[in-house]
Every structure is written in C-alpha cells, then in structure tokens.
Structure 1
Amino acid sequence: MPVRRNSARDRARRELGQNFLIDRGAARRIADLLDPSPVPVVELGAGRGAITRELVHTGQPITAVELDPHWADQLRDECPGVRVITGDMLEFRFPRAPHVVVGNLPFGITTAMTRRLLGTPCWSEAVLLVQWDVARKRAAGGNQLTAQWSPWYEFRLCGKVSARSFRPVPAVDGGVLRILRRAGPLVPFGEHRRYQRFVEEVFTGRGRGLTEIVRNVTGCRVRGLPALPRDLTAEGWARLYLETT
C-alpha cells in the first residue's frame, strides 16, 4: 500500500488536481510518442521532472513550465540544459516558431488547458496525460469539444496510465491523448468561430434525430445523416457544415 503524505504541499497539490507521475516507464512512453523531428518541446506541468528527464534524452530544446517555485528550482538544478519557466500553464505564452507540446495536465484544468492549446498556433502535435475518461472520449469523438476542433486536429488514444503511477494517488487512471494538427484542414481555419457556433447549435438543437435537428437549425433537409450528432465523424461534420452554410 502506498503511504499517503499529508504535508501542506501535498494537500495543495490535491486541491489543484495535480498528481506527480512517478512511473519512469510511463514517462518514457509519453516522450517516445513525440515526433523525433528536431523541433523545440514545451512541457506543461513538469512537476518533479519525470517526463522532463526522458525528454532530455531526445536532444531537443526543452522549455518546462511549472507553477510551483520549489519544483521549478529543483528542475533547474537537476536539468541544467532545460529552460524552466515558473508560472501558470494557462497563462504561458507559447512560442511563435514551430514546436511540439507534452504535458501532465492537472485534472482540474484539463478542459480549460485543452481549449487554450487548441486555439494556439505553431505547434504540430501535443501528447497529453489526462484523466482516462477524458482521453477516451476525446479520441472516440461524439462530444461537442472534439467535434468543434476536428476539422483541424486528429485525436488519438495512446494508452492508459494506472492511478498507482501517480503521487498522490488519484481516484481515477490517467490516459495519454495525442493530438495532431492536420496538414490539410477539413474547413478553412478562418471560419473556425462560425463552424464552432454551428456545431454547438446542432448539439443543443431540438428535434427527433439529427436530420430534424439540422433542418430546424439550418432550414436545409439533408439526407443520409446518422441518428444523432454524436454519430458524425470529423469528415461528416465538415461536409454538413459546408453543405448547409
């Protein structure tokens, strides 16, 4: 049985939904998922540096973002080649040059950080350790957030990380979500706000089945649609938007 620690720092970490990854094998698998191209890496929520140490072996330039000054200072001492930023990942200014992103996201801000990341340019892929159910649902599709961003990104599930791999031990397992920016967008990015409003209106629209919902929302009768909004693929959403707007 793992020993539960009750220091002020541990209590604060639990309140923020932050859990340190201590499984070196899991950290290595996460680092290995990144494209080996020699582009800079931004690591979010570096914590004690489990993933950071694996990233160092790639030889890529690394910027690690950590909110807690204690752990940020420790990272500077232990990984002198890493640029460490002490600050909130939700406020971090991402590079304007090409880069990739990796991170162990605090469970309490997973959705907020994911939304911010998806709206940020210049990164080509992100490998994120999040709650298992969140990773599974994002990759499977069928939810509004994924549908709103699927014309520009692919979401892939890359495995489960046991709750025992973290300290403090969370109540749920973690999941690794890999997000890849599409080389060829399904909808022009300049239309993303209009497209996302369209997706929201369809998801929240009234009607018995998707065909009736679309007719009520757009005034268009579209044949061959699946039963519900959650059943549409990324390509299906893009095609529906382009045909009805």
Structure 2
Amino acid sequence: MPTRRRSARDRARRELGQNFLVDRGVARRLVGLLEPAPVPIVELGAGRGAITSHLVHSGRRVTAVELDPRWADALRVAYPQVSVVRCDMLDFRFPAAPHSVIGNLPFGITTSMTRRLLDERSWSEAVLLVQWDVARKRAAGGSQLNAQWAPWYEFGLCGRVPARSFRPVPAVDGGILKLQRRADPLVPWREKQRYQRFVEAVFTGRGRGLAEIVRNLTGRRVPNLPALPKDLPVEAWARLYAGTS
C-alpha cells in the first residue's frame, strides 16, 4: 500500500509539472540573478529548499510559499529564519511593500502564475524557472501576452536548465525567465485594461495583415506597419495604441 501511494503521488506531481530542483549550481545561479536590493524576497514553490538554502545567505527577509504540508513543515525546521506560508502560489497574497520574486514554477501552471504575477504591482523583479519553450517564447516576444504586458515589463531569457536538474526528471528542459518592471512605463498603468483590450482586438481582428486589421478596428490608416501583429515591436504597440485611441 505505501508503495502505491507514493507512485500515485509521483504521477500527480508529473501531471501538474511539479519537479523539484536538485542542481545546487542552478539554484545558486537563480539567486545570483536577483539584484542586490535591500527588499524582501518571496520564493514561490519552495519545495525541498534548493533555492531557499541560498536565499538565507542573502541577508534579506525571505518568505517561502509551499503547498505541500510536509515540505512546508520541513522548511520551517531547516530554515527557522524564513517565513513559510503553506498555500497554493496562485492564492498567495503578495506583500504590498516592494519585494523581489523567485521561484521554480510547476510547468502545468506557468502561464496562469505568470499572469497572476504580472497583475501585481509591488514587486520589482522576478526570476522564474519555467519550461524551456515558455521561457524562450516569452523572452522572444511576439505573443499576445507579451504585447499586452510589455509596456510595464521587460522579459529576459537567462539560460537553459537541463531536465536532469529536476526530480522527477521531466520530459523537457527548463528555462530561466527574468521579468523586470520598467522604471518608465510605455503606457500609464491606469490605462492597462483599455490597452490590453486593444491588443486583444488587434490579435483576434479580421483582416489581411496588420494594417487592414487596424483600419477595420479604428477606421484609421496607419503607415509602415509589419505584416502581422506578432511582428510589431513593443515600443510600436504603445505608439499604435496612443495614435489610435
């Protein structure tokens, strides 16, 4: 019976993309990507403490978020100086005060957790270990999600992490994605919803090419547009929004 329970648990973890980071070098690298700012750190998906063990030496206040009660209890014992919050990271209430974010995100909730993070206003940077294809896609830009959020954030790819760095070993590699809040937003935050609706309308609009889509949506002819929405640079999205609003 105990063997079957462990097997079922492992299968559930695989389905949710819950893979523990076991490579200490990768954990050290992730922590090293954080700016040396005197603000607290929130760690998402602390698990066995691979990243936590390096964070405690930073001299900054650390909050570790972990859903599994066994690992949460183990973290409290191993790192009494860390504030451990046992909850689903999607339900975690982020501090109102400035802070940094770091974490090994379950592959199955990467997009939903990224969206949740982007909608929070108090963190300045986030270093996230996610699925390689997701990290590469976000850093490359061109997607609707990137276009909707790029006026307030910069997306950077900071390396690939081999699958053997995790347990259980996933079918794909991981990637390190860094999100940095822009000091000078390209669009005012108060216009976020309106801007994002505009981007969605362009990506889903009808027309043979971006120029025709924009003309159909706004009634305006905008010169020098690329062929497709995915080809429009971040700064150009902000200008297009401002020029057609």
What is the TM-score with the length of structure 2 in the denominator? 0.96
Q: Distance in 2 between matches of 1:85 and 1:171?
A: 29
1:133 counterpart residue number: 133
Distance apart, 1:227 and its partner CA: 1.2
1:43 counterpart residue number: 43
Pairing 1:77–2:62 present: no
Q: Distance in 1 between matches of 2:6 and 2:92?
A: 30
Pairing 1:186–2:186 present: yes
Q: Distance in 1 between matches of 2:104 and 2:155?
A: 17
Tell me the amino acid that sits aligned with residue 35 of structure 1.
E
Pairing 1:214–2:211 present: no
1:92 counterpart residue number: 92
Pairing 1:64–2:52 present: no
SS of match in other structure, 2:159: strand
SS of match in other structure, 1:201: helix
Structure 1 unaligned runs (5+)?
Answer: none
Q: Distance in 1 between matches of 2:206 and 2:8?
A: 49
Q: Distance in 2 between matches of 1:52 and 1:103?
A: 10
Distance apart, 1:233 and its partner CA: 1.2
Q: Quick one: percent identity of the two aligned structures?
A: 74
Q: Distance in 2 between matches of 1:6 and 1:86?
A: 21
Q: Distance in 1 between matches of 2:163 and 2:39?
A: 31
Pairing 1:167–2:160 present: no
Tell me the amino acid that sits aligned with residue 170 of structure 2.
P
1:99-134 alpha-carbon deviations (Å, 9 max, x no partner): 000011111111111111100111000000000000
What is the TM-score with the length of structure 1 in the denominator? 0.96
1:225 counterpart residue number: 225
Tell me the amino acid that sits aligned with residue 134 of structure 2.
V
Q: Distance in 2 between matches of 1:144 and 1:180?
A: 18
1:234 counterpart residue number: 234
Distance apart, 1:190 and its partner CA: 0.4
Q: Distance in 2 between matches of 1:16 and 1:66?
A: 14
Q: Indicate how the Cα distance of structure 1 residues 6 and 73 shifts in structure 2: closer, same or farther if over 3 A, else same.
A: closer
Tell me the amino acid that sits aligned with residue 158 of structure 1.
C
Tell me how large the CA RMSD over aligned residues is. 1.1
Query: What is the count of residue pairs matched by the alignment?
Result: 241
Q: Distance in 2 between matches of 1:57 and 1:232?
A: 42
SS of match in other structure, 1:63: strand
Pairing 1:16–2:16 present: yes
Structure 2 unaligned runs (5+)?
Answer: none
Q: Distance in 1 between matches of 2:54 and 2:98?
A: 21
Tell me the amino acid that sits aligned with residue 124 of structure 1.
S
Tell me the amino acid that sits aligned with residue 176 of structure 1.
I
Q: Distance in 1 between matches of 2:130 and 2:154?
A: 17
SS of match in other structure, 1:50: coil
Q: Distance in 2 between matches of 1:145 and 1:227?
A: 19
SS of match in other structure, 1:108: helix
Distance apart, 1:164 and its partner CA: 0.6
Distance apart, 1:208 and its partner CA: 1.2
Q: Distance in 2 between matches of 1:10 and 1:79?
A: 25
Distance apart, 1:6 and its partner CA: 5.4
Tell me the amino acid that sits aligned with residue 45 of structure 1.
G
Tell me the amino acid that sits aligned with residue 106 of structure 1.
P
After TM superposition, where is structure 1 displaced by more than 6 Å over at least 4 residues in a row?
A: none
